[in-house]
Amino acid sequence: MKMNIKIENLLINRNSTIREIMRVINANRIGVSILVEKESNKFISMVTDGDIRRALLKGFGLNSCIDEVPRVGNATTVQSDTPLSDVMQLFSDKIRVIPILDNKYRVIDLHLSDNRRRIAVAQPFFDDKEIDLVNECIVSGWVSSNGKFVEKFEEMVARHTGTKYAVSCNSGTSALHLILMAHGIGAGDEVIIPSLTFAATANAVTYTGAKPIFVDSDIETWNIDVSKIEIAITKNTKAIIPVHLYGHPADMDPINKIAKEFDLIVIEDAAEAQGASYKNRMVGSLSDAATFSFFGNKIITTGEGGMVVTNNLEIAEKCRLLRNHGMTKDKRYWHEVVGYNYRLTNIQAAIGVAQMGKIDLIIQKKLSVAKEYNNLLKGVEWITLPPNKSFANSVYWLYTIIINEDKAGFDVNTLMKVFKKNKIDSRIVFYPLHTLPIYKTNEEFPVSEKLHKMGISLPSAPDMDKKDIKEITDIIISQGGL
């Protein structure tokens, strides 16, 4: 098929550096840039992401000129009047992008084989800053858990969240485990959590020896149903973990009121909601402590990573102790408690610093994606759009909708198969934890089960093209006529 992108956004000249070419390739998402003569725009060759990787491995630097970089093979090109049937014969596993040239050998369009084309559910939003800071780590040799970026990243997250302390670690799951351990939660204790959440929320509780107690979701927010929390409290209950599901904050004021009445700890699982707010207060600052995740699909990413935030210095220090093998900071190799190797590396933190520097831009882009989806799907009677309560500002981590299969005439599984055929990724809503073999109970949580059965998460990358969103929504709406 032909491309609908601006060719000028792919063009580079002989004086371009590897850094500049990486920026072009990253922006166009097809893995190539086109090398042309500076004045005439006459085609010279293509430069692929593979060419760049091989050059870096051979020792070329980011400021190396492209003319110095060896490239594999000659590019396959066609003239503008080449029949499509002939073009299709040229595609192979190695040839998937074919420039179309005019009679002066200038590139006017591309043919693209779609066998590798895919619209992903989520993608990180990177630019030169991540490359620069990671490169600084490598050049300096500070690549492990020591280095200036770890502390700087923690400071940036704490400041953005509005908390006093932040403790980085190697995953959001580890962050939950650390904060539970720091609060002394263990065997014989119970922790109330929503059934509709990722398994990490329950797993972290289980790591401590405590028992997760499940509560159904609220149909309006998809988060823990506040009206059902008090019923789940027993003499063994020590904490509540509300999860800000899919980027929409839970209703925190009544949760905190219940916790205060029963002397319980409140820990926000904000893995999916960094940057969201509740009544003009940032998630993460609404409880005794909170955790974030920086997995590759989160609002910001360090590849893998997590963070504890709190206003309690004693809890923060316990987390720091536990994440580093229980080794005291004043006496090296002296261990007074059993700890864990939950440290974040300086390289990961460097990526985090770059990401935090543009978190507001990333969130703005996420909101634009959600707005575009909302505009195209509003009014479809068999679709429920994501929650958007007056007390909350969601970040729409994954844009998720509910499909009423009785009215639509199809179910989520059918839609996912159609998406897959069209190289579009999608996700089911999490299995309610009470239905999983490891946490199976005889209880019924109808709202959680309904949201799982009828929910689907759509591609939600910050830099999604409006044309891709339109294609996705057209497919959804067209299924309703079947």
Name residues whose C-beta falls within 8 Å of residue 28's C-beta, 6 or more positions apart in sequence. Answer: 5, 9, 10
Catalytic residue among 148, 238, 260, 298: 298
Q: How far apart are CA 448 and CA 428, in angstroms?
A: 13
Q: Which tokens belong to 79? A: 């003239």
Q: Is 222 within 8 Å of 448 (Cβ atoms)?
A: no
Q: Is 220 within 8 Å of 254 (Cβ atoms)?
A: no
Q: Is 344 within 8 Å of 292 (Cβ atoms)?
A: no
Name residues whose C-beta falls within 8 Å of residue 148's C-beta, 6 or more positions apart in sequence. Answer: 142, 346
Closest CA to 96 of 87, 85, 107, 105: 87
DSSP state of 17: B
Name residues whose C-beta falls within 8 Å of residue 89's C-beta, 6 or more positions apart in sequence. Answer: none
The answer to whether 318 is a known catalytic residue is: no
Q: Which helix (H) or strand (E) holds 211?
A: strand 211-215
- Residue owning tokens 């000659």: 74
User: In angstroms, how far is the first alpha carbon of the chain from the final one?
Assistant: 27
- Residue owning tokens 């093998």: 325
Q: Which tokens belong to 27? A: 């922006």
DSSP state of 295: B
Q: What CA–CA distances, in Å, run from 316 to 154, 442, 450?
A: 12, 38, 38
User: What is the bridge-based pairing of β-strands 11-12 and 32-36?
Assistant: parallel
DSSP string covering 433-452, please? GGGSGGG--S---HHHHHHH
Q: How far apart are CA 250 and CA 392, in angstroms?
A: 8
Q: What number of CA atoms fall less than 13 Å from residue 331's CA on the CB side?
A: 4
Classify residue 331 by burial, with Cβ atoms within 10 Å: 0-12, 13-18, 19+.
Answer: exposed
Tell me the catalytic residues. 298
